[in-house]
Structure 1
Amino acid sequence: MRMGALHPKRVWHGLLLSLLAMAFFPTPSRAAPSPAYQSRATELLRLLSAPGGEEGFFSSLFLDAVPVDRWRAIAADLRAQHGAPVALGAVSQTSDTAGQVEIRYERATVGFSLVVAPQAPNRVVGLHIVGAKTAQDSFDKVMADMAALPGRSAFAIAKLTDAGPQWLRAHHADAPMATGSSFKLYILAELARAAGAQERRWGDVVPLGPKSFSGRLMHWPDRAPMTLHSLATAMIAESDNSASDTLLAALGRDRIDAMLAATGHADADRALPLLGTAEAFALKMPANTDLRQRYAAATLSDRRALLRDAVARLTADRVDVGSVAEVPTAIDSIEWFASPRDMIALLDWLRRHGGDALPILAVNPGIPPADARRWRYLGYKGGSEPGVIAMNLLAQAQNGTWYAVSGSWNNPAARVEESRLVALMTRAMNLVVTDGR
């Protein structure tokens, strides 16, 4: 679920600090590193280990694009994924100003492309992550790390075949989990179904609205004309809440709800009706405690009736994001629930019937671009809010084999460290692409 800064995109999408390639691409060294270049490489190890001294290391050009607080968040994210930096590895200089540096972390070796200014004091003007090699990783290690997450976690990997999913790995794969904005995949599936049945066209124009409380489109003019394709792209690639609530109204909640059964959700009654984003977070508001309690205890038909009767209290202008932005709020009762098996069944349905939905699903790959490039196709949708993160990936290997990977982590007692699940899912995807059966 996108809530202001809680969009699932990672800090590693920085302008100058970006992930470029999965494996290191060694270039023949022109010569041994110069003393100035070697010194900056050594300092990089220190800066990755702990904050402090960034202004003396980076040029003003770099810090204009990647401010100190952003750099520190990137360094902290790398430590969360790979452990503490422990040593400087190979340093190779390929020109007077550029080269590659390896930093050995506790659990991986990370490669950087490092560019320094030619004049003293040779501050760093460019820094790119070019890949990460996890030391002696395995599915067993990923599964153990997944199980060790505080709170509840669930995970599954499947090869997708004409006979159905073949389950390769599973951890609580049937457990219903809060999945945040992952529910938007059901809206995408209904749009794909309607387009395939020629009931709708991707180019059909509808007015924007009802708007929700976060996302780019909340600032657009009311009732701005938008195509279904544009709304779907914003909903999936940006997790735009106004786009999803507009599509929910335009396509019809009953039709979207029906996609749960059509795609193989094992416990649709618990998950229905699919709430709009404004409805869900309005129900979480302290002023709507009475509605939330009634909704959580109601039957499916009574939940539908409550949404109709209380429509005036469940709008975006009733949502105070600050009241739910820091702590988990009703994630066990007011949410979008699905198990990893449910989500993989949905991804498999999209693989077989998605049509023009598949390129939309691939706009945001969900994992670092370096790792995403290992796949012929990679589609993604996740969701996050305090106490919730979910990631769902549909992938085709270079040999044509299809896979789906789904993971969710819930903790009603505390915020979750989103970077930890991103790292686990990235490791899983890399193991699938190298060791998948």
Structure 2
Amino acid sequence: MPDPATTRKRRGGRRRAAALTAAAALVVALAPGCAPQPTPSANAAGAGRQIDVRTPQGLRAQQTLDMLNSDWPIGPVGVGTLATQRLAKQVETTMEKLWWDRPFTLHGVDITAGAATLQLTTSYGARQDIRIHTADDTLVDGFEVTTQSPTISSWRDVDAVLGKTGARYSWQVAKVDDGQCDRVAGTNTDESLPLASIFKLYVLYAVADAVKAGTVSWDDQLSVTEQGKAVGSGMDLAVGDHISVRTAAEKMIATSDNMATDLLIGKLGPQAIDDALANAGHHDPAAMTPFPTMYELFSVAWGQPDVREQWKNGTPQTRAQMLHDADSHVYKPDPFRAHVPASEYGAEWFGSAEDICRVHVALQAGAVGKAAPVKQILAASPNVNLDTQDWPYIGAKAGGLPGDLTFSWYAIDRTGQPWVVSFQLNWARDHGPSVGSWMLQVAKQVFALITPPQR
């Protein structure tokens, strides 16, 4: 699963699973043959604002906006008419990422000698500037995108910003006292929303319990399988190669490695994950069972044939059988659904902000004795750039799947006070990687609201 905290991975990570990434590439290549008609011209989204196209830079600014707001995917042919050959690949890559955030609303354009800056708002409410520069042949030879950070100076601002994203959302800031989560601020904190890769915290909890019980050792070796490789991994391993439980746990958290996750679930068994849900305080463990592996969920959500409706309407017994069937078949990603959210069908892992706080607290409390490495594993990739003097410890897990973006942190401030901060956003459509980095700007300012003052 991608880790959107590393810009989707995306959102991310935000890193999308390799299988879904391959499918996404296919959908971009194939979509022109079946895509709906293009959207109205970009000016229609600009509340009446017009771009003066009597100059090369104005003309290219209009072309850029029209391409981004079109339902036709960005591709080398279109970009070849916009940018110089030297810059074409870079512009194509950048615009492909931006395209998922359409429609863009035009607020203004600043045209200067040889350059133009588009002032836009994305579909999720972020302000972006796209500066283009034109060469003597009128083609674009400079292309720069800047995403402005929203201003968060109060808890009310958090809701004002998230309320414009078009997402169902939940966020919470909780102070941890005596092992309890005491909410300081938040919205929809008891609403069960997609967790994306945050669910891997429950897998880590199960690993830690098994290590303390002596049924699993950090040094135990896991064998790489075809199924594991099918859901994607950042590790260059062949089928039959081995990694330790410790390495798998580190990769599962730090890089959200999907193969490592499934290898650990396979080692522990489904009952261990069910127990972890209950012991780590999930509000409704039964709602998360049968608990799918990543291979199983990917097969149901984005595989062929399309069984999402069957999953949505299925009983727990039906779903258990579907997961069993998925294990017995080769996962074949459907390129036309690679960017289609599956959470509305119930094909995801679900939990609330309160659940997220409880599992973070439970992991920290249980990180003793043989399970002590859990603290280090969680702190390997903090995702948010904070002053280490203010925040000497940050444990983190984030996640991203089509339409779903999540972040969570267990952080200890300079006074020794632990906090848990989390965000969950759920859309009916997918977005590009920019939304992940934009949300991290929101998160950094939320942390600033609780940073203890200097003594």
2:13 is matched with which residue: 9, 15, 19? 9
1:319 counterpart SS class: coil
Structural RMSD (CA): 4.8
Structure 2, gaps ≥5 residues long: 16-62, 66-85, 111-119, 127-141
Q: Are the aligned partners of 2:150 and 2:441 in contact in 1 as well (CA < 8 Å)?
A: no
Q: In structure 1, what is the equivalent of residue 131 of structure 2?
A: none
The one-letter amino acid of 2:12's match is P
Q: In structure 2, what is the equivalent of residue 155 of structure 1?
A: 171
Q: What are the Cα deviations for residues 369-424 of structure 1, in whole angstroms up to 9, with x where unaligned?
A: 36678521112212212111111111111221111111111122x22455446434
Aligned-residue offset at 1:141: 0.2
Asked if residue 360 in structure 1 is aligned to residue 377 in structure 2, the reply is: yes
Aligned-residue offset at 1:329: 3.0
Asked if residue 326 in structure 1 is aligned to residue 339 in structure 2, the reply is: yes
Q: In structure 2, what is the equivalent of residue 388 of structure 1?
A: 404
Give the 3 Å change call, closer, same or farther, for CA 424–195 of structure 1 in structure 2: same
Aligned length: 368
TM-score (norm 1): 0.68
CA distance in 2, matches of 1:189, 1:166: 22
Q: What are the Cα deviations for residues 119-159 of structure 1, in whole angstroms up to 9, with x where unaligned?
A: xxxxx9xx9x9xx9865622210122223321311111101
The one-letter amino acid of 2:342's match is T
Q: In structure 2, what is the equivalent of residue 398 of structure 1?
A: 414
Q: What are the Cα deviations for residues 173-221 of structure 1, in whole angstroms up to 9, with x where unaligned?
A: 1111112222111111111122223332212212123414343357521
Q: In structure 2, what is the equivalent of residue 44 of structure 1?
A: none
Moved over 6 A (4+): 70-77, 83-87, 105-108
Asked if residue 189 in structure 1 is aligned to residue 189 in structure 2, the reply is: no
CA distance in 2, matches of 1:10, 1:280: 18
CA distance in 1, matches of 2:421, 2:96: 27
Q: Are the aligned partners of 2:341 and 2:401 in contact in 1 as well (CA < 8 Å)?
A: yes
Q: Are the aligned partners of 2:193 and 2:350 in contact in 1 as well (CA < 8 Å)?
A: yes
Aligned-residue offset at 1:246: 0.8
Q: Are the aligned partners of 1:146 and 1:424 in contact in 2 as well (CA < 8 Å)?
A: no
Give the 3 Å change call, closer, same or farther, for CA 167–136 of structure 1 in structure 2: closer
Q: In structure 1, what is the equivalent of residue 442 of structure 2?
A: 427
2:158 is matched with which residue: 114, 137, 142? 142
Q: Are the aligned partners of 1:151 and 1:410 in contact in 2 as well (CA < 8 Å)?
A: yes
1:318 counterpart SS class: coil
Q: In structure 2, what is the equivalent of residue 176 of structure 1?
A: 192
The one-letter amino acid of 1:351's match is Q
With CA pairs under 8 Å and 6+ residues apart, which has the higher RCO, 1 or 2? 2
The one-letter amino acid of 2:445's match is N
Q: Are the aligned partners of 2:265 and 2:293 in contact in 1 as well (CA < 8 Å)?
A: yes
CA distance in 2, matches of 1:134, 1:76: 21
1:185 counterpart SS class: helix
1:211 counterpart SS class: helix
CA distance in 2, matches of 1:347, 1:84: 42
Q: In structure 2, what is the equivalent of residue 24 of structure 1?
A: none
The one-letter amino acid of 2:404's match is V
CA distance in 1, matches of 2:99, 2:417: 35
1:326 counterpart SS class: coil
Q: What are the Cα deviations for residues 335-354 of structure 1, in whole angstroms up to 9, with x where unaligned?
A: 11111111111111112113
Q: State percent identity of aligned pairs.
A: 24
Q: In structure 2, what is the equivalent of residue 201 of structure 1?
A: 217
CA distance in 2, matches of 1:351, 1:338: 19
1:284 counterpart SS class: helix
Give the 3 Å change call, closer, same or farther, for CA 305–135 of structure 1 in structure 2: closer
The one-letter amino acid of 2:328's match is A
